[in-house]
Chains A and B, each alone.
Chain A
Amino acid sequence: MTPDDRAGPSPSQAARPLQASPAQAAAALSPAPAGPAPTGRRRDRTPLPVVLAACGVLLLVTMTAGVAIGSVPLSPAAVWQVIAGHLTGHPENSVAGVIVWQIRLPRVLLAAVVGAALTTAGAVVQVMVRNALADPFLLGVSSGASVGATAVLLLGAFASLGVCAISVGSVLGATIAMAAVFLVSRSGRQLAPTQLILCGVVLAAMFESVTSYLIFRGSPQATQSVLFWLMGSFGLASWNQLPIPVLALVVVMAYLLAQARPLNALAMGSELASSLGVEVPRLRRNLFFATSLLAGVAVAVSGVIGFVGLVIPHIVRLMVGSDHRRVLPVGVLFGASFMVVGDLLARTIVAPQEMPIGVITAFIGAPTLIVLIRRRPYAYGTTE
């Protein structure tokens, strides 16, 4: 046989598509392979509905506890009675009713939404830059928002807007910082992951220096309120703060769930993703704006709450694997639960005073992350 003989296709090989037909697969499956699962196909993963149900129960329990526990303790039954009353259009005008509906429930709901938003943003940013140690504030959102909020609190910017001034200032700052990171980290038409990380970190440091300068020049009283805001709090929660974060979360979540498969491909590598027909530059750009939006609204209503967006996605991946069709919905429920518990601790540990929630999340988050890093060999600076 000369080499030339093998150049052409043999008739039997020609025109055979590169895939096993379902029938072929079924035939191959029937003599029960040596593997442990002759019938079940995903023995290693708990079915998604089960995980979602468990996390849903967890969220309901933590939220009930979040509303029930406080300076005036209430029973879970009383809590749900008040909520049921409002939902059916017959609100009761008791003290408990006011505490639940006016004070604690909006706060717990806001914490849940922010927890969900930060977890989602974190999970996506980590995929976008293919770095397990990325968090949603990598995009400059938090440092920019800090400059805006500090300017409002210390210099009285946007004073005419009243209580909204901080939100407006932080959103404005976040937008400017995010745009700066986006423009600087573009190489050609693409967002390059390594550049995104470097530019994000460097620009964040620059914006933080502006914040530090403003604090340095400010009065001590104003400085304290700035520091409290910087570490995050749900102390100012009210019903009218809820619609925008909820809307942002729903819209972004719908987009991300539609892109869950491309996200999986991107997590495995950008070249691989483009070979699977994913338009990587466009996907990265959309993900950048989607996560910036989530992080931006979270910061606007609650300040800079660290570690949630970094640690919770990892915990979720340890529970359900890396498939984003599982990570994203589970992350929403689990991140929300975590934040509700964090807020509960923040306002009960040193009651009647209130701790910034950033203190709690970092205190729980940092050791958790260290354990995770030591348990799993994360790679740094992977080649793209």
Chain B
Amino acid sequence: MSLRLDGVCVDIAGRRIVSGIDLTVADGQFVGLLGPNGSGKSTILRAIYRVHRPCLGRVLVDGANLLALKPKDAAQRVAVVAQESVSEFDFTVREIVMTGRIPHKQAFSRDTEADHAIVEGAMERVGCEHLAHRSFNTLSGGEKQLALIARALAQGADHLILDEPTNHLDIQHQVGIMELVAGLGVSVLAALHDLSLAALFCGAVHVLAAGRIVAGGPPSTVITPATIRAAYSADVLVIEHPDTGTPHLIPRRIQPETP
């Protein structure tokens, strides 16, 4: 149960967006993908869930070339919680979670008792079973994220891809979602914006800048003022988290405060 990117390059509309991406997510590891806006985090993730096709390099899931797999087989191995969320049509949370079973179903087949049990179980596990009959569009950001994670669970894959799962969430839900994801016991690759949060939960992080990985490894060695300045052109202080000793960022003003 591993995920490996081997020299992946992605072109969109003739332009190279990311190039030479090498990274590995070992069994059960939680890996963070960091980098400024537009650095190619989402593009890398989309290359893994087959929206973009790498023009060079390979994506290996358990050693198998992802693009050589049938789409359904790939979907049974890799589940995705993307940024996109439903807006046009009215689905209940249960219906959303049930779509996680699509890779396991044939045309015309009915939802079996096992499917229902898996869906119930997934909702229980993320703690959104009380939302089952609510319309997805009426949920708060945190509740939506729970429902989407439940869907990924129902998909039964052992690799989970998350694209900025804590965006727009309050601090309680940010920590809650990260804790939930870290506790699932599957291999996770997540694009993350909050570097301190990433350091708190990820076993390894990779920092992207302009489509290339500029640093990778344990958060304590990667998240340093020098790396942050190189990748984000931002001046920060890095302190140790009092509980865990992980790096924690403190932003600094660009203009020194006038007395």
Interface size class of B (residues with CB under 8 A): 35 or more
Cα distance, A45 to B92, chains bound together (Å): 10
Cα distance, A372 to B30, chains bound together (Å): 45
Stretch from B76-84, B165-173, B230-238 forming part of the interface with A: B76-84
- A276 interface hit (Cβ, 8 Å): yes
Interface size class of A (residues with CB under 8 A): 35 or more
Write out the residue numbers on chain A whose beta carbons fall within 8 Å of the beta carbon of B88: 126, 130-132, 267, 378-379, 382
Residues 117-154 of B at the A interface (beta carbon under 8 Å):
117-118, 120-122, 124-125, 129-130, 132-133, 152-154
Min distance, Cβ A287 to any Cβ of chain B, angstroms: 15
Write out the residue numbers on chain B whose beta carbons fall within 8 Å of the beta carbon of A2: 218, 220, 245
Q: Is the CB of B92 within 8 A of A276?
A: no
Q: Is the CB of A259 within 8 A of B107?
A: yes
Cα distance, A12 to B154, chains bound together (Å): 20
Stretch from B33-41, B96-104, B207-215 forming part of the interface with A: B96-104
Q: Is the CB of B92 within 8 A of A271?
A: no
Q: Is the CB of A18 within 8 A of B91?
A: no
Min distance, Cβ A141 to any Cβ of chain B, angstroms: 22
Q: Is the CB of A267 within 8 A of B89?
A: yes
- B43 interface hit (Cβ, 8 Å): no
- B229 interface hit (Cβ, 8 Å): no
Q: Is the CB of B51 within 8 A of A8?
A: no
- B22 interface hit (Cβ, 8 Å): no
Q: Is the CB of B153 within 8 A of A8?
A: no
Write out the residue numbers on chain B whose beta carbons fall within 8 Å of the beta carbon of A261: 99, 102, 105, 107
- A367 interface hit (Cβ, 8 Å): no
Q: Is the CB of A271 within 8 A of B1?
A: no
Residue in A7, A131, A378 whose Cβ sees the most chain B Cβ within 10 Å? A7
Cα distance, A299 to B132, chains bound together (Å): 42
- B19 interface hit (Cβ, 8 Å): no
Min distance, Cβ B14 to any Cβ of chain A, angstroms: 11
Q: Is the CB of A269 within 8 A of B72?
A: no
- B219 interface hit (Cβ, 8 Å): yes
Could you list some 13 contacts between A and B, CB below 8 A? A2-B220, A3-B244, A3-B245, A7-B203, A13-B28, A14-B27, A18-B160, A33-B129, A258-B108, A275-B49, A276-B155, A321-B90, A382-B87
Chain B residues with CB under 8 Å of chain A are 1, 26-30, 46, 49-51, 70-76, 78-80, 82, 84-92, 94-96, 99-100, 102-103, 105, 107-108, 113-114, 116-118, 120-122, 124-125, 129-130, 132-133, 152-161, 184-186, 199, 202-204, 218-220, 244-246
Q: 6 smallest A-B Cβ distances: which pairs?
A: A9-B28, A20-B121, A25-B121, A277-B75, A7-B203, A13-B185
Given A34-B130, A278-B102, 8 more A-B residue pairs with CB atoms under 8 Å apart are A3-B219, A14-B185, A16-B158, A18-B160, A19-B118, A19-B156, A277-B74, A279-B71
